[in-house]
Amino acid sequence: MKPIRQLAFVVNEKKEGAPALARELTQIARASAVALKQTTRFPLPKGYLEGSDACCVIGGDGTLLGVARESARCQVPIIGVNRGSLGFLTTFSADEARSQFKSLLRGEFQIDQRAMLECSTGRGPKELALNDVLLKDTVNSRLVRLGVFADGELVTDYTCDGLIFSTPTGSTAYNLSAGGPILHPKAGVIAMTPICPHTLSNRSIIFRENVKLRVFNRSGESRLLVALDGQRNLKVSAQSPVEISMSTWRLPLAQRADYSHFAVVRAKLKWSGELIAKT
Write down all domains in the chain, each with its CATH number in brackets.
6-109+256-269 (3.40.50.10330), 116-248 (2.60.200.30)
Is 61 annotated as catalytic?
Answer: yes
Rounded distance, CA 174 to CA 133, Å? 10
Cα separation of 232 and 120, whole Å?
13
Series of mean pLDDT values for 10-residue runs along the chain (279 residues): 96 96 97 97 91 97 96 97 87 94 96 97 88 94 94 97 97 96 96 95 96 94 91 85 97 91 86 67
Strand (E) positions, the chain?
6-11, 35-39, 54-59, 78-82, 110-121, 127-129, 132-137, 144-150, 153-160, 162-166, 189-195, 205-208, 212-217, 224-228, 232-234, 242-255
Q: What is the pLDDT of residue 169?
A: 97
Helix (H), strand (E), coil (C) string for 128-184: EECCEEEEEECCCCCCEEEEEEECCEEEEEEEECEEEEECCHHHHCHHHHCCCCCCC
Catalytic residue among 53, 61, 112, 229: 61
Q: Which residues of 231-248 are buried (b: 16+ CB within 10 A; e: fewer)?
A: ebebebeeebbbbbbbbe
Task: Please report the pLDDT score of residue 126 as a whole number.
Answer: 92
The torsion of the CA quartet 239, 118, 162, 138, rounded to 10 degrees, works out to -60
What pLDDT is stored for residue 242 in this prediction?
A: 96
